[in-house]
């Protein structure tokens, strides 16, 4: 008998498919549980929400603590529409500012403000404690190494080329910083 709950699929699956599906489901459930726990910790500690921290984390890694809105949307783990609304909320809170590019007026930059830098520095220790408490402490060093290598392999397979509708593609950097 399998250790995981069996899910019925209306088509035949190989043992490899079943293992892949089990790994996928485990990753999604673990990701969701850890994120909810970390977000709850941040809320209780009175810091900024996890989604805001994610935006500030990416802006902090950008040159001059800023990124084009399109680049920011690719880096955070949210939909592009949600990122735009989130940045607008953060602009209202004084943590981020939007800057129109002088050379290409179609480009909008999101830049961290001094208040955003303070919020980022204040939240970072709690965020790191949350990662340790709700994720890292449950894994051995070998499991962390294998998981990081495996998930990086999947990410890199998708980062090499992004195909757009109509068959055109563009290269994407596989070396962008990640959490």
Concatenated DSSP letters for 7-66? Answer: ---SS---HHHHHHHHHHHHHHHHHHHHHHHHHHHHHHHT---HHHHHHHHHHHHSGGGE
Tell me which residue has tokens 């084009």.
68
119/160: higher pLDDT? 119
Give the least confident one: 32-36, 46-50, 104-108, 158-162: 158-162
The whole-angstrom separation of Cα 126 and Cα 157 is: 32
Residue 160 predicted with pLDDT over 70: no
Do 48 and 94 meet the contact criterion of CB atoms below 8 Å apart? no
Q: What is the reported pLDDT for 31?
A: 93
Architecture, CATH, for domain 16-131 = Orthogonal Bundle (1.10)
Is 70 exceeded by the pLDDT of residue 154? yes
């Amino acid at each position: 008998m399998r250790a995981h709950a069996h899910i019925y699929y209306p088509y035949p699956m190989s043992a490899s498919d079943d293992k892949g599906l089990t790994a996928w489901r485990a990753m999604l459930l673990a990701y969701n549980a850890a994120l909810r726990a970390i977000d709850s910790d941040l809320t209780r500690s009175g810091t900024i929400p996890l989604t805001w921290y994610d935006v500030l984390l990416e802006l902090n890694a950008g040159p001059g603590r800023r990124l084009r809105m399109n680049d920011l949307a690719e880096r955070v783990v949210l939909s592009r529409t949600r990122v735009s609304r989130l940045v607008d909320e953060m602009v209202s809170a004084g943590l981020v500012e939007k800057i129109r590019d002088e050379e290409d007026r179609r480009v909008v930059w999101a830049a961290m403000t001094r208040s955003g830098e303070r919020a980022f520095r204040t939240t970072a220790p709690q965020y790191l404690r949350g990662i340790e408490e709700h994720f890292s402490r449950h894994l051995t060093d070998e499991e962390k190494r294998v998981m990081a290598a495996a998930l990086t392999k999947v990410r890199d397979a998708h980062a090499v080329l992004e195909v757009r509708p109509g068959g055109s593609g563009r290269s994407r950097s596989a070396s962008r910083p990640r959490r």
